[in-house]
Amino acid sequence: MTPERAPERVREMFSDLAPRYDRLNRVLSLGLDQGWRRRTVRLLGLPPGARVLDLCAGTGDLAVAGGRFGWQVHAADFSHAMLAAGRGKGGAAAPRSLVQADATRLPFADGVFDGVTVAFGIRNVAEPRRALAEMRRVLRVGGRLGVLEFFREPPSPWRSAFSAYFRHVLPRLARLAGAPRGDAYDYLPASVEDFATPEEFAAWMRDADFEPRSSRRFAGGVARLWVGRAGVEAGAS
Ligand SMILES: C[S@@+](CC[C@H](N)C(=O)[O-])C[C@H]1O[C@@H](n2cnc3c(N)ncnc32)[C@H](O)[C@@H]1O
C-alpha cells in the first residue's frame, strides 16, 4: 500500500477537502458528475422503497439521488467531516441515516440491504477486495451492487486526452478553486493508474460472490458503472 492510500491519510485528505468537495466536483467534472450518479440509480434496477446502503458516501450526492428515486438510503463513510458537510442535503430525499464506518468493517447485520452503491469511493479504499466482501455480506441474495468509478481503461486517443486533463489541468484547477496542495485531486491521477481495469474488477466481484451483470461507460469511458448481483447460487432471484 502506498503511503497516499493508507486509510488514515485518505480520511484526513477527504476531511480537509469536505467544505469545498461539492463545489470542486461540479467544476472539475465539467458538470457531468451528478448526471452519472442519477444514471447509476436508474441502471441499478431496484424499485422505489428498496433499502440501499451508499458506501463511501462522502457528502451524500448519490444517496440523495437514490432518495429522490424513492429508495430508503443509508449513507456510510469513514470521514465524519464529509458526512457532516452533506448533512441536510436533499430535504425529503436526504439519507435515512448517516453512519461513520469503514468500508472494510461495516456495522450492519448480514443480508439487510437490497442494494449497495459506491461512487468514486472503492478506488480510495486500502483493501477494496475486503470491502467487496463486506458489501456482499450486508446484501441479501439477489441484491444489487453498483460501483461507479474511474477504472484503468485501455489506451485510446480520448483516454489520453482525459488522462492529460486529470494529470495536468485538474490539480491546477483544484488549486485555483482553493483546494490545499497534496489533496485528493493531486492523488487522483495516480490512484486511477494504480487501480483495477474493468475486467480485473469483474474478477474481484466474482471472488466476492457477485455476478457481474452489466458494465456501462459514461462520457466515452471517463467513468464506468459496474452493476452486479449478490449471490450466484442456483435458485437465487
Ligand atoms: C471521492 S469521495 C466520493 C464521495 C461520494 N460517493 C461522491 O460520489 O461524491 C471518496 C469517499 O470515500 C471515503 N472513503 C475512502 N476510504 C474509505 C473507507 N475505507 N471506508 C469508508 N469510506 C471511505 C472518503 O472519506 C470519501 O468521502
Q: Domain map of the chain by residue range? A: 3-230
191 lines ligand 1 (CB under 6 A): no
| Signed CA dihedral, 161, 167, 169, 174: sign only | positive
148 lines ligand 1 (CB under 6 A): no
121 lines ligand 1 (CB under 6 A): yes
28, 77, 122, 123, best to mutate for ligand 1 pocket (most atoms within 8 Å of CB) = 77
Contact predicate 154/217, CB 8 Å: no
Confidence of residue 31 (pLDDT cuts 50, 70, 90): confident
Helix axes 198-207, 128-138, angle to 10 degrees: 50
Q: Is this model's pTM higher than 0.85 or not? A: yes
* Most confident among 20-34, 54-68, 164-178, 218-232 (mean pLDDT): 54-68
CA 21 – CA 30 distance, rounded (Å): 14
98 lines ligand 1 (CB under 6 A): no
Contact predicate 145/230, CB 8 Å: yes
Confidence of residue 236 (pLDDT cuts 50, 70, 90): very low
The pLDDT, as a whole number, for residue 237 is 43
In the CATH hierarchy, which top-level class contains the domain 3-230? alpha beta
CA 155 – CA 149 distance, rounded (Å): 17
Confidence of residue 181 (pLDDT cuts 50, 70, 90): low
Q: How many CA atoms lie within 13 A of 199 on its CB side?
A: 2
The pLDDT, as a whole number, for residue 47 is 98
